[in-house]
């Protein structure tokens, strides 16, 4: 049969290891990830005639270059090139969890979302039109309860169908950063594309955004490889953004991502009007 390489990606404590354990029949410890070393688990099992190679990656809130976990996850995606990323999302904490999703959307990888903690979400009585959200994100969404193994059959069926769907355009939906930022992204993106050897390894638009955000690791990588033209242009465009907005460029992009998420949730999410919870 065919082999599908799958990476579990999500915030800490969203249920990745629970899903991993249920799927693989293993007995890894669940609980807070607090190690200094980045250690990942791999499991291989058969499902409906496919061989699944499943990786349980460390929890991350973003894909910036600020922590070893974040660098590990994005390097795993860049170098291992999983066929499918399962983005595990805590349904009780959509806004924060979707931040990582907006980063995955630019990585040119096929994503299937496990809308986990769905039991807790339902107990709250909130409502989420996840089918609509799925269309807005361009990502299939399957509700799951990782700790009980619920929804995992539907999740892995979806993994197979997305894997087999050659026509599936996983680049169809992207965060639109608005004309001002898109102008800068476009220029850097074009410059990267002119260097073919670079754009095969890292999706050009994703790299353009990261360079504009002053991502230390990618800047180091490009410096080492001698791509000064790209770096100079990115710096010029970053200055333009910071002069105009009077903010740090990374903050500008972060705000734009949260703006996109807020817009998507405004259209799809309704809090239970009866129960008013205390925000902690
Ligand atoms: P990870 O950090 O993403 O690997 O998350 P874990 O799998 O370690 O889960 C964190 C905690 O959430 C554990 O106590 C799990 O038992 C619990 N958990 C995982 N999935 C669910 C779920 O769908 N519903 C509920 N109620 N708890 C869950
Ligand atoms: Mg874990
Ligand atoms: K954990």
CA-nearest residue, atom 19 of ligand 1: 15
Separation of alpha carbons 75 and 88, rounded Å: 18
Mutate which of 147, 148, 151 for ligand 1 pocket (most atoms within 8 A of beta carbon)? 147
Q: What is the mean pLDDT of residues 124-147?
A: 96
Ligand 1 pocket by Cβ (under 6 Å): 10, 12-18, 30-31, 33, 59, 116-117, 119-120, 145-147
Token output for 129: 């039109």
Does the model's ipTM exceed the 0.85 cut?
Answer: yes
Pairing of strands 269-270, 127-128: antiparallel
33: pLDDT strictly greater than 70: no
The H or E element containing residue 54 is: strand 50-56
What predicted TM-score, i.e. pTM, was given to this entire model?
0.92
3-state secondary structure of 141: strand
Mean per-residue pLDDT, 119-142? 96
Structure tokens at 262: 């807020």
Quickly tell me which residue has 């710096």 as its tokens: 235
Is 50 exceeded by the pLDDT of residue 209? yes
Mean pLDDT to the nearest integer, 246-260: 96
The pLDDT value recorded for residue 5 is 97
């Amino acid at each position: 049969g065919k082999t599908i390489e799958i990476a579990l990606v999500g915030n800490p404590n969203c249920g990745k290891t629970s899903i991993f354990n249920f799927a693989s029949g293993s007995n890894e410890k669940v609980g807070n990830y607090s190690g200094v070393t980045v250690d990942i688990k791999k499991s291989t099992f058969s499902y409906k005639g496919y061989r699944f190679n499943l990786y349980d990656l460390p929890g991350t809130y973003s894909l910036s270059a600020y922590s070893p976990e974040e660098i590990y996850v994005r390097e795993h995606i860049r170098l291992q090139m999983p066929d499918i990323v399962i983005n595990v999302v805590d349904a009780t904490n959509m806004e924060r969890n979707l931040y990582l999703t907006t980063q995955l959307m630019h990585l040119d990888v096929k994503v299937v979302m496990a809308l986990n903690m769905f039991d807790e979400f339902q107990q709250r009585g909130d409502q989420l039109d996840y089918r609509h959200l799925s269309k807005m994100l361009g990502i299939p969404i399957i509700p799951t309860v990782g700790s009980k193994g619920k929804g995992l059959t539907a999740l892995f069926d979806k993994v197979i169908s997305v894997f087999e769907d050659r026509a599936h355009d996983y680049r169809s939906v992207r965060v639109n950063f608005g004309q001002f930022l898109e102008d800068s992204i476009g220029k850097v993106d074009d410059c990267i594309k002119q260097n073919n050897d670079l754009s095969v390894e890292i999706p050009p638009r994703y790299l353009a955004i990261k360079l504009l955000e002053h991502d230390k690791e990618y800047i180091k990588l490009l410096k080492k490889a001698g791509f000064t033209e790209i770096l100079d242009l990115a710096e010029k465009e970053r200055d333009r953004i910071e002069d105009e907005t009077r903010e740090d460029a990374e903050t500008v992009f972060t705000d734009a991502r949260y703006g996109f998420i807020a817009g998507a949730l405004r259209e799809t999410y309704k809090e239970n009007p009866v129960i008013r919870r205390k925000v902690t």
